[in-house]
Every structure is written in structure tokens, then in C-alpha cells.
Structure 1
Amino acid sequence: MNLRPHASLGRVLDDLGGTLLDLVLGDGDRPGGIGGVAIHDPLDEPALPQHALVLGVGLAGPDEVVRQLRTLARHDAAGLVLRAPVAVTPAITAAVEETGVALLSLARGASWAQLAAMLRSLLAEGDVGDAQPETLAGLPSGDLFAVANAIAALIDAPVTIEDRRSRVLAFSGRQDEADASRVETILGRQVPERFARVLADRGVFRELYRTDQPVYADLRGEGLEGLKLVRVAVAVRAGDEILGSIWAAVREPLTADRTQALCDAARLVALHLLRVRAGADVERRLRADLLSTALEGGAAAREALSRLGLADQPVVVLALAVLGSGAADAELAADR
């Protein structure tokens, strides 16, 4: 096992662009994977992972931005994200061209925490594993964003993949073709409570979870601000367990072929969700083993650090333990 290739800047823009992120200046097709996500700290010199994507929280002034771009170039960073709207000046344009650090903008209304979580979710797909990732139906195993884009292409409509609690796990491109309520859902990574409540009151969730066929929800007459398109959803199941659902924003009913494609997609999403669930446990155990090897030192420590993405980086080890007075507590502490 070794490191899988990390998601590139182009991949991040494909998955999150148009809804959360936009490329302002620079090369969106820059080769190489993003090594991690970092948050700008004005009081501390950054210790960045290789090819980092840096969240410029609080950065606004053109002079500040230019200085930060030049600092990030010394650390071989991939890009800098600022809050939209970004005021582009000739000095900023020149700094981007000089440094090669891409400049991106975060949509208004989206939180930095949301962006960091989604970026880390994308990048985590390549953290630890085989050199060639497994595939399901030709798509990288567990890559729900790629699955969402494939479904959107099949049914010609923007889609989200959600869990049982209506939290957004992934979304396709083309969300600009949907309505304001869909954008709100993606920015919040959760179906807003007012929509979820109406869906529950109308029995949409109940119908959705008791059939394997798509269910239409036309809430346009409910007075919900920002909702202009009908939704069609299908449950994602593993046997009789409900794993989540797929939701599409449509302007007209799906054709018979697209209806069947959506039903088939639900089975594919189930496989990916199960792979994510299984992989999370395996990856946690693998990380624990690698960390133990790194801490023990010896010939294998260097390789373990590389597979953890920590080679040639400063690290801090923090150990915590709860100690009691009894022998059982002492034995437990020793095991930990």
C-alpha cells in the first residue's frame, strides 16, 4: 500500500466550482495533487503541507493578498481562497502570474468551516490506500462526487446525494440550473428545516422509504421562498436498511429511460456508501498502525510517515491519559 494521488485543483473546481468556489485568477488545471488544507494565520509563519490550498480567512486588502501570495509561493502552495467578491487589482493579477498560486473565491453565505469540511472530504479519498484505487461501475470507489456527476449526466438534472438526516454527502455540477433553495441546501450541507418539515408533513419521506421507485415532490404551492423546481427522489438501500437518498431538481417528469437510470443509480450509490462505511473502519485501523510504527522509530518509521503525509513536516505529538488510583485503572492506562 502507498499514497493514492490526491485530488487536483481542477478536480476540486469541478466538484465544488459554481456553488462554493470560483477560480478568480490563475491556472485551474495546474498539475499535481493538493496535499492538504490550511487556514491563514496572520500571527504565525505557516507550516504548510505540500501543494496546500490555503483559506484566507479575514484577508481582504490588496496589499495583504499580494504579500500572502508571495509567502505561499515560497511554500509551493496550490491556491489561496478569499471571500467573494474579490477585488482584483493589477498588483494582485501580477502576483498571481509571478507566483503561480491560483486565487479562488468562496461564495457569500458559505462558511469557511463548510468549505474546509468539504475540501478535506475530497482530499481524504486519496490519503491512504492502494496505488490504484478500487472502482465500482468505472468510478473510484467511495467517490460520491463523481457518482453524483455521473447521475446528473444520465438524467440531465442536477442532483444531491443525502443521508437519512437530509445532510448533503455530495452534489453534482450544474447546480446553477436548479433554484435558490438547492443552493441554500448545498451551502448549508443540510436540507433547511422549513423544507424538511413540509416534506415530512406531506408524507414524502414516508413514501420515499417504502418504495424503490422515484417519488415526486412538488412543493411550489407551499409558499417556500426560493423553491421553483419540482424534486424527484429515490431511496438508497442496502437490503432493507435505508442508507440515504438521491434528489434531483427537474423541470419536467423524467422519461422512462431516465427513471430507470435513477433507480439503477440508487443501487450504485448504495455500493459506494457501503464502501465508504467499510473503508472508514479499515482506514482508521491502518492509520493507527502507521502512527504506532512512526512513533516506535526504526527502519519502517520513514515509510509510515510518508504514507501518513507527514514526511519532511514538523509534527507535534500530544498524548492524554486518565489515571486513577486503582490497579485496574493503571493497567488500562498502560494499555492505552
Structure 2
Amino acid sequence: MITRLKKAAVVGAVATLSAAGLTACMSDGNDENSDTIRIGSTEADKSQWQVFEQKAEEEGVDVEVVSFTDYNVPNQALTEGDLDVNQFQHIQFLAESNVASGNNLVPFGASQTFPMGVYAKDFSSVEEIADAGDVVIPNDSTNQGRAIKVLASAGLVTLRDDELLTPTPADIVTEDSDVTVTPVDASQTAVAYNDGQAAVINNNFLESAGVSANDAVFKDNPDDPASQPYINVWVTTEENKDNEDYQKLVEIWHSDEVQEAVANDTAGTAVKAENTPEELEDILADTEQKIREQESSDE
């Protein structure tokens, strides 16, 4: 669902964030509503956010959820002070954004993770997928890299370096692997599945494939340290990370009412994450360092 940020893309996004562009998402009068916490989300229309707003009101917390359709914009809006916090991204996306833009946004709470799985209509085991010899994967760099790591965890492919954050098909040691990979647009992984091929499918395309997360032949483990960069997080600026009102947002998100709405919105694919802010910052720092190292090795 989320594509890897490139430096040029971030620069372009910043350059096009005109006053008119932001006004389309933002309302005036921030000074008059200084007690309102403005939250950026790319899924503001989901019931989870409606329940969250209701719960926040009950708790005496004044929030406004601001909707975005471009994943590159909420972090820049947060940096420029048009938002107080955002909640739409996992740590790896945040790390790539920070490294590319030079910003220093930080996580102050976890929301959930979405395990990525391998699905197959005609195969019920990893061994049967290995015998078939091919797996379709999404071709955008973040999801492609994660899909390849899922296949490596399943023992279906061998990587030249297990520490690569976003491996590509070129990083697969083909002679030591049981399957080859065919990268396609993420939306086409569901089509491949329905055509009888094994496929790694993003959670947001499971419905179109006609499968549930429970149908996965294999999926990554959210408790595995290798899955930590895919924890979705609440994010703010460095100077506001200890804001007690913001911590209240995390508590509200983890309430039973909101979690029930999250489960309904995601067809049960979301797994609640409760890492501490300190743990999340450590994961972010490690992920940023790996991104810089991989970029240096690619130059």
C-alpha cells in the first residue's frame, strides 16, 4: 500500500505544497482552536476514526481528524505545523521519509501491525508452493522488499544478505531458492491468486481476492524483530513527543471500542501493537541507519 520515498519525490512533494494545496485539507482558525489536536490520517472516513472521535469526546479530548489522499503530504504538514500528530504510516515509511527529507519526526505510540501473507488457492502448504516454483509479489519497493523477506522467512527464497531492509529480486540467490518471484502491480496480486498462482497479497487487496487473512499459507510474525519496522505508529515532532495529551490519544486508540472498529474495518487483519515510545524510537533509529547504509552501498 505504501511506496518507498525517494529523495526527489520528497523534494517534489515539498515544492508543490502550496498554500492552496494545503488549504484544501486544512481549515482556518488554528489559533482560535489551539486546544484542538489536529490528527492527519489517510483513512479518516473509516469507522475506526469515527469511534475514536466519539471516545475522545467522552474522555474530554478535543480532536479533529484531517483527511489526506497523498501519503507524502501528512509528514510535511506535521513538520510545517499544520498538524499536531499523524497516524497513517509504519516505522519504515517514517524512517524513509526522515532520511529523504532531513526531518526528525518521531513515534510516540504504536497502533497496530498488519502481517503480510502468502496466499494460494490450489496449495495448502509451503512445500506445495515450493513445488509450484513461482510466487507473484507486489512490485512497489517497500512492499516488494517485505514480500521477499516473508518468502525468505518461509524458506522459499535465500537472500545474499539477510540484513537487507528492502531486498529486491536481484538480491535473491536463485540457485539456492525454491521459487522464483514475479513482481506485478500490487492490485494484480489478487488477480494472480484467483488465476491459481501463489501470491503475496497486501492486506488492503485481500477483499478483492476473496480471501481472509486466516487463509494465508504463511505470514510474517508481528513478534519477530524483523517485523518491527512495519509497526504502524502515532507520530509527532521531537519537541512534542512527551505531550501528555498526545499519549492520551494512544490510550483511546487501544480502547475496546476503537479496537473493535479497527477489527471491523480491516477484516481482522490488524494486530494491536503496544510498544513503548522508547522501543519505537530505537526501532526508528535502527531502521534509519539501515536505510542510510543501503543507500551508501547502492551508490
TM range, normalised to the smaller chain?
A: under 0.3
Name the structure with the higher helix share. 2
Q: TM-score, normalised by structure 2?
A: 0.24
Give the TM-score normalised by the residue count of structure 1: 0.22
Larger radius of gyration: 1
